[in-house]
Copies of this chain bind each other. A is one copy, B any other.
């Protein structure tokens, strides 16, 4: 007679298999699917979603959780089995409140919205996307109502990405960030001496860009036997399983940094996924702790590592070998400064480390207003542009470079954006600990040796999967809470030096 925990694991494995299959369907949708496939794909994803949901929230799961909870009662809090029961239970209590029809409806609506968004964005045509956006907001509100919340419906949505954080906590951290980032950006703009990055404004051929991306990924420790790199309109990473992790990039010949940092950013996500240990089984534990923690891994590699001087000491010669003409006479200091150029711009994913956060604040505020029905979707493009003007002092020339630029809403991800800024904070906190533990880290990076850093991240972040909430994980790593100061200190120091403030 198998015990309840064993039965529970078999059940969760099936749910996890459906999720894994769904991840492949989602990846394929963005990488390979012919246009005609959109409608059927939406149906396939909707069916997988509703079957996974039904299997997960069934009464049998609840009963197994009860019994497994008793069976694991004596185990330490951080043991795999106790964590599995604890984390699954929390998820079960939330998700059983959501009716299966709503799950299928959401999955179906989002899959269609994604295809509509792709077209609308290409043509900068918000009107054609508006009905989808309206549906998305309505479904988000219905979802929040089903999940339940204390203070604000947004909290229910945020919790899906950042377990046990509230919009009030986020707002408080964002206020601290604003208080130092807004004047910092202002000081840089006022100084009126932009960093020279004119060598970037040349044609960088596709082939060598691709090759360099693969080279950096390999150096970071990405295992190509257990993953792959492709192209898509919007770069992303998808773990089909921890042994099949796929990242995408987009390569633009006229914008070297876009594809380059996309690869490193997604590479950070991908290393996290490849680092989830088999011991956590096919379950909800075998995923990132939260979207913010996931983002901390991509940001850490993209910014703390790859926007540092030591990194380019090692990699610039490689890049120069691939682009000898374009990078003729560019030295490490010049390149380092160029990749840290601060300048208000339209596109979030191509924003610098400082202004990036301003893009997040405005999205957070717009989402709060949409979900509280204080903002109509019809007014969203105007509201977007007004926020851009307020935070960044610029107005998008069209919706393609404005309200239509991000994939998230079309995928139903309302409540997701704050995790990007939280990721920035966590990256700085985590990197500070890694630096303390690896004493010659800068020297290692300058030598192209990134293994110790990866091993430290594996040990302190990756191997725990979703066993701990983000707040628990931060406490285990730093002994304290999520805090804005380490990131703000790092940012001010670096940029003050570059801009001689």
Chain A residues in the interface with B (C-beta under 8 A): 13-14, 17-18, 20-21, 24-25, 28, 32-37, 39-41, 43-44, 46-48, 51, 223-228, 240-244, 282
Q: When chains A and B are docked, how far (Å) is the Cα of A223 from the Cα of B36?
A: 9
Q: When chains A and B are docked, how far (Å) is the Cα of A17 from the Cα of B243?
A: 25
Give the nearest-CB partner of A14 in chain B: B47
Q: Is the CB of A37 within 8 A of B243?
A: yes
Q: Is the CB of B35 within 8 A of A20?
A: no
Closest-CB distance, A241 to chain B (whole angstroms): 3
Residues of B within 8 A of A14 (CB): 47, 51
Which A-B residue pairs are the 7 nearest by beta carbons? A37-B244, A40-B241, A36-B226, A17-B47, A36-B243, A21-B44, A17-B44
Q: Is the CB of A244 within 8 A of B33?
A: yes
Q: When chains A and B are docked, how far (Å) is the Cα of A98 from the Cα of B44?
A: 25
Give the nearest-CB partner of A32 in chain B: B228
Q: Is the CB of B20 within 8 A of A44?
A: yes
Residues of B within 8 A of A35 (CB): 225-226
Closest-CB distance, A274 to chain B (whole angstroms): 9
Residue of B34, B47, B226, B241 near A244 (CB, 8 A) is B34
- List 17 contacting pairs A-B, 8 Å CB cutoff, sorted by A: A14-B47, A17-B46, A20-B44, A24-B24, A24-B44, A28-B28, A32-B228, A34-B227, A34-B228, A35-B225, A35-B226, A36-B226, A36-B244, A37-B241, A41-B244, A44-B240, A44-B241
Residues of B within 8 A of A226 (CB): 34-37
Q: How many copies does the complex hold?
A: 2
Q: When chains A and B are docked, how far (Å) is the Cα of A264 from the Cα of B43?
A: 30
Residues of B within 8 A of A32 (CB): 32, 228
Give the nearest-CB partner of A223 in chain B: B36
Closest-CB distance, A308 to chain B (whole angstroms): 30
Q: Is the CB of A37 within 8 A of B282?
A: no
Beyond A44-B240, A44-B241, 18 extra complex contacts between A and B, CB < 8 Å? A13-B47, A14-B47, A17-B43, A18-B48, A20-B43, A21-B25, A24-B24, A24-B44, A32-B32, A34-B227, A35-B226, A36-B226, A36-B227, A37-B226, A37-B240, A39-B241, A40-B241, A51-B51
Q: Is the CB of A28 within 8 A of B17?
A: no
Residues of B within 8 A of A33 (CB): 244
Q: Is the CB of B37 within 8 A of A21?
A: no
Residues of B within 8 A of A51 (CB): 14, 18, 51
Residues of B within 8 A of A244 (CB): 33-34, 36-37, 40-41
Q: When chains A and B are docked, how far (Å) is the Cα of A454 from the Cα of B440?
A: 69
Closest-CB distance, A253 to chain B (whole angstroms): 21
Residues of B within 8 A of A40 (CB): 20, 240-244, 282
Residues of B within 8 A of A228 (CB): 32, 34
Q: When chains A and B are docked, how far (Å) is the Cα of A24 from the Cα of B51?
A: 18
Which of A35, A39, A41, A244 gathers most chain B CB within 10 Å?
Answer: A244
Residues of B within 8 A of A20 (CB): 40, 43-44
Residues of B within 8 A of A28 (CB): 24, 28
Q: When chains A and B are docked, how far (Å) is the Cα of A44 from the Cα of B13?
A: 9
Closest-CB distance, A242 to chain B (whole angstroms): 8
Q: When chains A and B are docked, how far (Å) is the Cα of A33 from the Cα of B36?
A: 23
Residues of B within 8 A of A43 (CB): 13, 17, 20, 282
Q: Is the CB of B34 within 8 A of A225?
A: yes
Residues of B within 8 A of A225 (CB): 34-36
Give the nearest-CB partner of A15 in chain B: B47
Q: Is the CB of B34 within 8 A of A18?
A: no
Residues of B within 8 A of A13 (CB): 43, 47
Residues of B within 8 A of A41 (CB): 240-241, 244
Residues of B within 8 A of A242 (CB): 40
Q: When chains A and B are docked, how far (Å) is the Cα of A46 from the Cα of B18?
A: 10
Closest-CB distance, A266 to chain B (whole angstroms): 16
Give the nearest-CB partner of A46 in chain B: B17
Closest-CB distance, A238 to chain B (whole angstroms): 12
Which of A20, A21, A224 gathers most chain B CB within 10 Å?
Answer: A21
